Amino acid sequence: MNIAKVIVDVQAKAINQTFDYLIPDKFQDILTEGMRVIVPFGPRKITGFVVGKKTTSDYSQLKKIIDVLDISPVLTGELLELGRWVADETVTLYITAYQAMLPQVLKAQYKKELIRNTAEELIPELEHLFAGRDVISYEEFVHSNISYAKLQRAIQESFISINYLVKSKITKKLVTIIEPSQETYQLEESLIDMSQNAKKQRQLLSYFIEKPEPIEQSKLFQITNTNRTVLRALLDKQLLKENKKEIYRNPYQDTNFERTYPLQLTEQQSIALNPIKEKISHEEHDVFLVHGITGSGKTEIYLQAIQEVISKGKEAIVLVPEISLTPQMVKRFKGRFGSDVAVMHSALSNGEKYDEWRKIQAKEVKVVVGARSAIFAPFENIGIIIIDEEHETTYKQEDQPRYHARDVAIRRGQYHNCPVILGSATPTLESYARAKKDVYQLVTLDKRTNNQEMPAVEIVDMREELHAGNRSMFSSTLKENMEATIGRGEQIVLLLNRRGYSTFVMCRDCGHVKECPHCDIALTYHKKSNQLKCHYCSYEEPMPIVCPECNSDLIRYFGTGTQRIEESLNQLMPHARVIRMDVDTTRRKGSHEKLLHQFSNKEADILLGTQMIAKGLDFANVTLVGVLTADSMLHLPDFRSSEKTFQLLTQVSGRAGRHELPGKVIVQSYTPEHYSIQLASNYDYNQFFMQEMQIRKSFRYPPYVYLSLITVSHPNHVKVVQITQRIVQLLLKVVQEDTTVLGPTPSPITRVKDRYRYQCMIKYKKEPKLRTYIQKIMDQFSDEVRKENLLITVDMQPYHLM
Ligand code: ADP
Ligand code: ZN
Ligand code: ZN
């Protein structure tokens, strides 16, 4: 087995294959699949993943592996297979999938060092190499002629660890631990023998007689009021010994997590949990959709299911949306499972992320709570996978590989024979439809644990406000309610439902929104050409001067920023203290937490923000929630816009009156009769589901069909159109009869960075070979991609149709 099969880091199509390399003798014993290596590729040296070993090759003149980057594998056998699957499913390169599964630190080549973790004798060669030092550079080892197998063994025994040097900042922290090296009675005897003048030494020794446990050196000095000189003397007399221990940077160190214990479940919670527990105990895979209103105790169900899994000696993965990975959420998991929990989210530094990943790899934790990519946690004995707020689109990666964490979760659940739990107050239509067809098990929780009603929702018709002469963003109802709330010393959450480039056109008199006559989707205003365009079928028309419905000249395109709202809020209610939370005020690390902390400290009356304030927040003192423009998302050029509006309104309503104080929700709208606004205000998910399914059916959108999106971009407009046209024609030759291939259609943002973008959309019910077709087409264009600056991207499950 002296030949390694390697997936190399070359970003070109048709290179989704393994290359054979000879394994030099020195790596023979240590090299296993899942390790990264450096190999020659043409004139270059590149990294690659070893995916297997063999004894013969079809090629003669094999080149040799230059170096091994990992002494222990970074990908398990399961993850290697999973990466191939992800790549195939999303039509991407294997190497891209593997890199997406690992923390950033491991995607590049970093300088390494070796750290001695023990005072115990190492094997003579290593002892000689360290020569009394705690840390040496990895190069020293490489040049030492000591065998890799010996180093690997020392690492496996935890005598030595490897540290990757990330931007000159060490990723691992070391602390010195002091402990007695003799029995307590021996220490006592030594104390008696010790000179009375050695006061400090006696003090230090007495400490360990009283408390014969390991302690951090710095703490020891603090408690005993001693120093290194004093300690040195006792170390030399071999009464005490010291060890270096690696500690992890803990991003949540400052927060004290109060221990929580399992609650007595409500009847609904028990009914939901029991079948899940059954699957856990029988080690069977199944997918559960937990449809539970906000406050119905879903999180408690997750916690108790995880408890069950841990007690079986297994591990749990919990995914939450990035923006709801707030300290409040983390607290609930750390509170129950303490240091068994690793947390992974994008606000962590690369070093911190790497620490958390290593805790998982080293099996030092049992639970990982994290955003999307935590689905690739290198656990080997998974007992449950939970996806909270399963409807969130952040679970879909919008970059290669364009995978959906839900699909990966189910794949891993099948491999590990464990249940997958999808939880939401407003499940996606896709998931709910599957549950209705018994593909998933549906469990419903329609009562809050405290039996409180959901807050009452009042819809304000903004057209009437306008007719009454109020041209501001705040209706008189909202203003009065805000004044009253502040008067009672309670707090307000104000949501500006805005999406960056949501420039749909609406009549402010009658609420009429211009839609495409063929697609039932709002037309998008293109400022430059003053045209309205449909991004699904290319239909366009000029921007109207008056409303085609009511002839009013107050027909405008929409788009308002939080900053402007804040200014008018300050004018309207000068005494109210406002915290604004949007991408601008939360860009800096930790600012998100800081603003929330200020608000929960009651340093402000109003929290004003975009979508990011709608999720997971739980403030006892918030009794009023205002939605400034419920419509703005409704008319995005996206067939999911009604669903997203319903989800957002339901979610934000759940923010009011979570505790003893009753809550109220005011929703301002120019189209108050729209079913997603009406049904959200009644918390009627089932009716919404049925109505929206009808629409999806008649316009042929998911979940009735699958979508795939191919986007072509190039600086030359004509070329983009031509190539997209060719792709459409190639596809039409091979697809099934009931499959629709649409295009070439300009992308909603047709030119980005001087490149034109066109797309081809495929709508299909069943196309088992579609990925192969697309791959073939991509291969066909690979020359042009390489030489002519052409870019073709594939999204097998598009969410952003931009
Ligand atoms: P969800 O995740 O569905 O929004 P949570 O799990 O956050 O609901 O529960 C809402 C509140 O009810 C929390 O404060 C939680 O501590 C509490 N809770 C959950 N289950 C119970 C229970 N069985 N008994 C009492 N309180 C509970
Ligand atoms: Zn009108
Ligand atoms: Zn259209």
CA 516 to chain CA centroid, nearest Å: 34
* Per-residue pLDDT at 170: 46
Q: Which amino acid is at 755?
A: R
Tokens, residue 70: 């990992």
CA 152 to chain CA centroid, nearest Å: 33
* Per-residue pLDDT at 497: 67
The answer, yes or no, to whether residue 410 has pLDDT greater than 50, is yes
Cα 800 to middle of ligand 3, angstroms: 16
For domain 706-795, the question of CATH label 3.30.70.600 is answered with yes
Atom of ligand 1 nearest to the CA of 265: 23
Ranges assigned E (strand) in 88-228:
111-116, 135-137, 160-166, 169-170, 173-180, 215-216
* Per-residue pLDDT at 441: 98
418 is in an annotated binding site: no
Confidence bin at 501 (pLDDT 50/70/90): very low
Q: What are the pLDDT digits (tens) for 684-699?
A: 999 999 999 999 999 9
Handedness of CA 698, 744, 727, 786 (dihedral sign): negative
* Per-residue pLDDT at 254: 43
Residue 653 phi, psi (nearest 5): -60, -35
Residue 370 β-bridge partners:
319, 344
Q: Can you tell me the distance from the alpha carbon of 39 to that of 22, in angstroms, rounded to the nearest whole number?
A: 10
Q: Is 386 helix (H, G, I), strand (E, B) or coil?
A: strand
Confidence bin at 528 (pLDDT 50/70/90): low
Q: What are the pLDDT digits (tens) for 621-647?
A: 889 999 988 887 787 778 899 999 999
CATH of domain 456-501+560-699: 3.40.50.300
Taking the CA atoms of the chain, what radius of gyration do you get in angstroms? Answer: 31
Q: Which candidate, 608, 636, 621, 625, places its Cα nearest to that of 680? A: 625
Which protein residues touch ligand 1 with a CB less than 6 Å away? 263-266, 269, 292, 294-300, 449
For domain 3-107, the question of CATH label 3.40.1440.60 is answered with yes
Q: Which helix (H) or strand (E) holds 748?
A: strand 740-752
Q: What are the pLDDT digits (tens) for 590-632?
A: 777 788 888 989 999 999 987 777 665 677 888 999 998 888 7
What one-character DSSP code corresponds to residue 404?
A: B
* Per-residue pLDDT at 603: 93
What one-character DSSP code corresponds to residue 339?
A: G
What one-character DSSP code corresponds to residue 323?
A: G
Q: Which of 441-455, 547-561, 707-721, 776-790 is least confident? A: 547-561
Q: Which amino acid is at 257?
A: F
Burial class (CB in 10 A: 0-12, 13-18, 19+), 258: exposed
Q: Which of 64-68, 249-253, 447-451, 581-585 is least confident? A: 249-253
- The answer to whether 11 and 63 are in contact (CB under 8 A) is no
| Count of H-run helices and E-run strands, the chain | 26, 34
Confidence bin at 112 (pLDDT 50/70/90): confident
The answer, yes or no, to whether residue 188 has pLDDT greater than 60, is yes
* Per-residue pLDDT at 630: 84
Tokens, residue 26: 């020195």
Which residue owns the Cα nearest ligand 1 atom 5? 297
Give me the DSSP letters along 454-511: PPEEEEEEHHHHHHTT--SSS-HHHHHHHHHHHHTT-EEEEE----TT--BEEETTT-
Please give the mean pLDDT across all residues of the chain.
Answer: 87
Q: What are the pLDDT digits (tens) for 539-573?
A: 889 989 899 888 888 888 765 556 667 888 899 99
The ligand placed nearest to the CA atom of residue 533 is 3
Atom of ligand 1 nearest to the CA of 293: 3
Q: Which amino acid is at 476?
A: S
519 is in an annotated binding site: yes
Q: Can you tell me the distance from the alpha carbon of 781 to that of 760, in angstroms, rounded to the nearest whole number?
A: 15
Confidence bin at 705 (pLDDT 50/70/90): very high
The ligand placed nearest to the CA atom of residue 292 is 1
* Per-residue pLDDT at 568: 83
* Per-residue pLDDT at 272: 96
Tokens, residue 83: 């990466």
Cα 51 to middle of ligand 3, angstroms: 46
Q: Can you tell me the distance from the alpha carbon of 556 to that of 504, in angstroms, rounded to the nearest whole number?
A: 8
The ligand placed nearest to the CA atom of residue 514 is 2
What one-character DSSP code corresponds to residue 55?
A: S
Tokens, residue 247: 């500690």
Q: What percent of the chain has pLDDT over 70?
A: 91
* Per-residue pLDDT at 437: 96
Cα 615 to middle of ligand 1, angstroms: 16
**Higher-confidence position of 709 and 12:** 709
Which residue owns the Cα nearest ligand 1 atom 10? 295
Q: Can you tell me the distance from the alpha carbon of 92 to that of 94, in angstroms, rounded to the nearest whole number?
A: 7
Confidence bin at 373 (pLDDT 50/70/90): very high
- Chain length of the chain: 802
Place of tokens 């189209």: 671
Q: Can you tell me the distance from the alpha carbon of 419 to that of 416, in angstroms, rounded to the nearest whole number?
A: 9
Tokens, residue 510: 């009658």
Q: Where in the chain is the domain with CATH 3.30.70.600?
A: 706-795
Confidence bin at 532 (pLDDT 50/70/90): confident
* Per-residue pLDDT at 499: 47
Residue from 300, 302, 390 to probe ligand 1 pocket by mutation (most atoms less than 8 Å from CB): 300
* Per-residue pLDDT at 755: 78
What one-character DSSP code corresponds to residue 182?
A: S
Residue 376 phi, psi (nearest 5): -95, 15
Q: Which of 272-281, 300-309, 518-527 is least confident? A: 518-527
Tokens, residue 802: 């931009």
192-196, 434-438, 549-553 — most confident range = 434-438
Cα 675 to middle of ligand 2, angstroms: 19
Q: Which amino acid is at 559?
A: G
Q: What percent of the chain has pLDDT over 90?
A: 48
Q: Where in the chain is the domain with CATH 3.40.50.300?
A: 267-445, 456-501+560-699
CATH of domain 267-445: 3.40.50.300
Which residue owns the Cα nearest ligand 1 atom 14? 295
The answer, yes or no, to whether residue 47 has pLDDT greater than 70, is yes
The ligand placed nearest to the CA atom of residue 466 is 2
What one-character DSSP code corresponds to residue 338?
A: G
86-95, 110-119, 545-554 — most confident range = 86-95
* Per-residue pLDDT at 553: 87
Atom of ligand 1 nearest to the CA of 388: 2
Q: Which amino acid is at 753?
A: K
Distances (CA, A) of 180 to 69, 212, 227, 231, 237: 38, 6, 16, 11, 11
Q: Which candidate, 669, 651, 692, places its Cα nearest to that of 454? A: 651
- The answer to whether 457 and 651 are in contact (CB under 8 A) is no
**Higher-confidence position of 748 and 299:** 299
Confidence bin at 324 (pLDDT 50/70/90): low
Cα 671 to middle of ligand 3, angstroms: 21
760 is in an annotated binding site: no
Confidence bin at 725 (pLDDT 50/70/90): very high
Q: Provide the 10 A C-beta neighbour count for residue 417.
A: 15
Cα 650 to middle of ligand 3, angstroms: 29
Which residue owns the Cα nearest ligand 1 atom 20? 297
Q: Which amino acid is at 296?
A: S
Q: Provide the 10 A C-beta neighbour count for residue 591.
A: 13
Q: What are the pLDDT digits (tens) for 155-181?
A: 888 888 887 775 534 455 677 889 898
Cα 706 to middle of ligand 2, angstroms: 36
